[in-house]
Structure 1
Amino acid sequence: MSKKINIVVGFDQRESVAYHTFTQSVIEKASLPISFIPLAINTLKGYEETHADKSNDFIYSRFLTPYLNNFEGWAIFADGDMVCQADIKELWDLRDESKALLVVKHEYRTKAHRKYLGNINEDYPRKNWSSIILWNCAHPKHQILTPDFITNQTGKYLHRFSWLEDSDIGELPIEWNWLAIEYPENKNAKLIHYTLGTPCFKDYRDTEMSDIWHETQKRIVDGFDK
């Protein structure tokens, strides 16, 4: 029985408030101790980000999660642009030793071909599968995921989990990666993903389900009402 949940979280200085808002939302509802690793590029010794087609600083470094956990045990990777509305232990309890990893297997076409900071938002196979990953870090097929290997792989290869067979990839319930704006509004989603733009950006400040993000962010500054 695991006594601690390991979570690797995407971090980009341009939206650092997103990281802190997400971790706040996890801590508020967690029933087990949490260990967070922010994927801040300046802390990833031995990894050089050379990809030119990146929309954020952790688009490729997320695949270092097994390496950062010494290829041992389990870990969760999560984009920073999320809010957790349930006990993260519920996600943790979905671990399946027969799988190399588990993801929400989205099948959708985007409503917007531009997203935050003017980044191009293209449709592609397995889009957003890698935004929340329940990693079996000890799975032998992940041993290739070293800093040098990831530096030299394409986004297509990595985000489609091409080092795995389809049977190695387990499926999570869609409520654990609910795409704001792209999907119908769902206030009861366990994990809301502001994939087109975190409400910290002015263009997304008042978009669908942004009120949930703002309420969480406000508690970081003001605490809970007494």
Structure 2
Amino acid sequence: MKSPAPLSRLKRRARLLARRESLPLHAALDRIARDEGFATWSLLHARSVAEAPRRAMAPDLAEGEVVLLGARPGHGKTLLGLEILLKAARANRRAFFFTLECTEAEARARIRRLAPDDADLWTGIEIVSSDEISAATIIGHLLSAPRGSVAVIDYLQILDQQRRKPPLFDQVAALRDFARTSGIAFCFLSQIDRTFDSAVRPVPGMGDIRLPNPLDVTLFSRAFFMHDGRIGFETPAVPLNPLPPR
């Protein structure tokens, strides 16, 4: 189901419809909701209210910053990552989505659902979908991107899944160094370990990042974690596991 148009715009349409066809306002609202794919106005309203916090949660990324965004599957990390790109695009910053997880068509459809009335906005987000994505290909793709550009990488744990690619630690370190010199901001989407228990803590933390291979999390300047509509924030302090020799 698509995301509804802004509530203010839909209410305006409903008032015009009510006047034009002499309908009670609640009936006009329900008709507008059906046009948007919802059975009633209350369902449409609930969906819009549920999505608003995600848009508000999208952080601003400073030039050269490298952040991590982690969540279990189905808790909205990819959508929040795309909201970060849309927010950057609204600020006239170049936006890039590097995905090893979905096709370009799937990514484009998700972005379109988030901003259905802003075609000029979401069509400007560049999507790179390939199994060959690595730190080297990302850096090569962004060499001509202006300072202040924003790139989201989907996702951290797949970067070195193929043995022919460099270790995860080396790739993230290379991207961190490139971020500092280029002024491009990076957001890595990340899986969370299955051992995370929301009954113990409401949102995951640094210790819950799934790391099949060693990684120094102090390479990230900030980390955000999501679960059941809540978001937590941490500043990395120490490595989570031993680092490989360099």
> TM above 0.5, one fold?
no
- Hey, which of these two has a bigger chunk of helix by percent? 2
Higher relative contact order (CA 8 A, sep 6+): 1
TM-score between the two structures when normalised by the length of structure 2: 0.28
Q: Larger Cα Rg: Structure 1 or Structure 2? A: 2
